[in-house]
Amino acid sequence: MNTVIRTSDVHKIYNETQVPVHALNGVNLDIEKGEFTAIVGPSGSGKSTLLNIIGGLDRPTKGGVEVGGQNISKLTDNQLIDFRKDNIGFVFQAYNLIPVLTAKENVEFVMLLQKRSKEERDARVKELMEAVGLGDRLHNRPAELSGGQQQRVAVARALAPKPTFILADEPTANLDSKSTKDLLDIMARLNKEEDITFVFSTHDQRVIDRARRVVTLEDGVIVSDERRENN
């Protein structure tokens, strides 16, 4: 198996000098290439903290995180920014699209930072927007799209730089049932057909039902790890 994410004894303590809050308490987790994994648990269990640390948006108080064999816990802030840009795709609950840019411009933004050629950017955007069912919405701005369409643009944007994996933090929280089903169908298809690794943080039972692996956190500790390979 090809391990793309490995956390080793990861702890995260907030307010260390005042009243410490232990968000994570020794998390050991390996994610293999092509997995479709949901990290679940009650509010305050540490789901989003773990996702942020895996994604290099936060640093562990103790322990290490390896992505593709690279220990990202040891990188400087600037090195981490470059590493995220090239290796990690993010899908957020609030979409986080740039409102003044079109869908096409939002999707190609990271590729501009990567200094990809115009020809490569155009081809990649066209491919991805068609893959998420929005090939006819390239020139619409976020305000002209529904919530479900905006989240599909966000998925295309996350995939654009060809990252090692996608992190999705409560990606369906603001979507209706149909939009959620459509989005999950798209991500499941990309996972199976293109072997793209997805890791979700979620409360949504609809996401949990589609996951092939469910990791449950309570009080910053993994209390169960269920694989459902035939899902």
pLDDT confidence tier of residue 67, bands split at 50, 70 and 90: very high
Amino acid at position 172, single letter? T
Q: d(Cα 11, Cα 220) in Å, to the nearest integer?
A: 8
Q: Residue 16's pLDDT band (boundaries 50, 70, 90)?
A: confident
Q: How confident is the model at residue 89 (pLDDT cuts 50, 70, 90)?
A: very high
CA distances from 152 to 23, 49, 59, 196 (A): 31, 24, 29, 16
Global confidence as pTM:
0.90
Q: Domain boundaries in the chain? A: 3-227
The correct answer on CATH 3.40.50.300 for the domain covering 3-227 is: yes
Distance CA 66, CA 139 (A): 38
Residue 216 carries which side chain, given as an amino acid letter? T
Q: What is the CA radius of gyration of the chain?
A: 17
- Amino acid present at 211: A
The band of 231, judged by pLDDT with boundaries at 50, 70 and 90, is low
Judged against a pLDDT cut of 70, whether residue 161 lies above it is answered with: yes
**Residue 193: per-residue pLDDT:** 87
* Residues 147-157 pLDDT 10s: 999 999 999 99
Region 198-223: mean pLDDT is 95
Decide which of 173 and 6 is more confident.
6
Share of the chain above pLDDT 90, in %: 79
Work out the burial of residue 22: count CB atoms within 10 Å of its CB; fewer than 13 is exposed, 13-18 middle, 19 or more buried: middle
User: What is the separation of C-alpha 189 from the centre of its chain, rounded to a whole number of angstroms?
Assistant: 16
* Mean per-residue pLDDT, 28-54: 94
Alpha-carbon torsion 100, 103, 147, 163, what sign?
negative
Q: How far apart, in whole angstroms, are the C-alpha atoms of residue 51 and residue 45?
A: 12
Query: 92 forms bridges with which residues in the sheet?
Result: 169
With cut-offs at 50, 70 and 90, classify the pLDDT of residue 94.
confident
Cα(108)–Cα(103) distance, integer angstroms: 9
Q: Are strands 70-71 and 88-92 parallel, antiparallel or unpaired?
A: unpaired
Nearest to 180 by CA among 151, 218, 214: 151
Nearest-angstrom CA–CA distance, 47 and 181: 22
Looking at residue 108, what is its pLDDT?
95
